[in-house]
Chain A
């Protein structure tokens, strides 16, 4: 195939990828968008095969590789539980990172096949692009593996801080730059692998000090990294589809990280430096006796059945307890009784952007009943009941009222403005930030202590009486 025509086809696939993202502006157009994405990928693969014209043996190898990987991918996609989506996405990012490293390695061992010069005489520019791609790819790989382990609960979500880690990271960063310069001047394969090794270590060190609850930022950031790695290799290969896609994914991940940081009122730098956001710790005991009003499932059922408007606020606890289906059943009962039911989602609820929306969609909650913070926050004042299930810090009024609070300034859902706030929680501990939630001690709050799913199921049962 003519190389110019191939470039044109790569451009077409790049445009199809843009349309895939464009489709996500609304649920009704999103499925069409995903289809565009698949077509784009198909065009890119077919074009490359037509351009390279591999021998029959090599072609067999390609089919084998596609079949093995594709089979694993398809089965995983079919079987994975929706609650495990953050882990899955982190795992997928790690694959892109590792693949970027492998492609760069292939390019340095066989530069002729990639049109970047001959062995021993690779263009300096290609070497720079490649080393950037391989460094970012390797960081994405180990970083995503750590994020996966933390999200999957195979590693504690607590931040692991090593003394002098900022110094070690800075030293590694400088070492990387020196190694890249050396690679360009010497084209030594040993130095190439040293770059890989240094980046792998850096990826681990960058992510282990970041706590579980900051994972939405980390996952988005790694998403962005995998894009930049792809773009850097796109420059090496002179491939338009890769350059366009890399830029799209890179900016997409960066925007998501920004939205997540804003949802927590924290700077990106402070999240990346880590050391914040472990898992639940015991509530701070300041010696002041405060009373908490506890309620039963029957009380909750009675309150909600006699309400006109109920707003449900789900959080990560709902995902952990898999309570979304029970929650939908409860909402159905309320709606059948003429109660107006809405869902309010905080931008950082859950462990990845949009995590709660997917779980609610899985439980067949119509998307037009689910609202974002800024669209629904003013409605709490008119609501009779706010049902908080598995969320904590995002409802803490201290973030709004108490200037000394560590989370002061973080946008919160004003559940305390509802006439009654039903708060489902396993115990009276504080949230991930280790901050006591003053909401618990307010007059309008009724604590429902128990597992999110069990409690909701009991309420559903109580509603039948």
Chain B
């Protein structure tokens, strides 16, 4: 805990040093304004490849999935599989792009096949889940 805090403080020091440097640059050099912009950009994560952000979302979503799925009651594991199947057909966005705007006819063809396949899943998956869930009833009192 102490170490993490120390690390965070160190980073804060570095960051403020960088800003100070940038401000000095700004004051001294004619091209200083751009340099300051670049430094600030780097500090706010602007030069980081978008992949890193996507990967961060991916990793966090795995954790969300982990906790959410453990809280699913075992009685509903079959509907869980059916509904995860239905939502994984969100791959339809790729198929839509291919059919919608691909310049190459072959690509649009592949997209069309993909679109048909996932449509089966989208409609079939959600409807069969709904059908299953409608059967789970409580004891009549």
Contacts and interface: CB of A to CB of B under 8 A. Distances in A.
Interface of B: 50-51, 54-55, 57-59, 61-62, 64-66, 68-104, 106-108, 110-140
Given A106-B95, A229-B91, 9 more contacts: A18-B61, A99-B118, A102-B111, A110-B102, A251-B62, A253-B81, A256-B81, A354-B77, A372-B75
Nearest to A80: B128
Contact of A48 (B55, B78, B96, B110): B96
Contacts of B99: 54, 58, 61-62, 65
Contacts of B57: 240, 243-244
Contact of B119 (A65, A114, A361): A65
Given A34-B126, A368-B138, A357 B77 contact: yes
B75 A357 contact: yes
B69 to A, nearest CB: 4
A443 interface: no
A41 B87 contact: yes
Interface in A28-76: 30-31, 33-34, 37-38, 40-41, 44-45, 47-49, 52-54, 58-59, 61-62, 65-74, 76
A86 to B, nearest CB: 8
Interface in A300-352: 345, 347, 352
Nearest to A335: B139
Contact of B98 (A76, A110, A362): A110
B88 A68 contact: no
B138 to A, nearest CB: 6
A445 interface: no
B110 A105 contact: yes
A109 B87 contact: no
Contacts of B71: 22, 25
A106 B94 contact: yes
A100 B64 contact: no
A58 B79 contact: no
A197 interface: no
Nearest to A373: B74
A65 B92 CA distance: 11
B58 A247 contact: yes
Contacts of B59: 247
B96 to A, nearest CB: 5
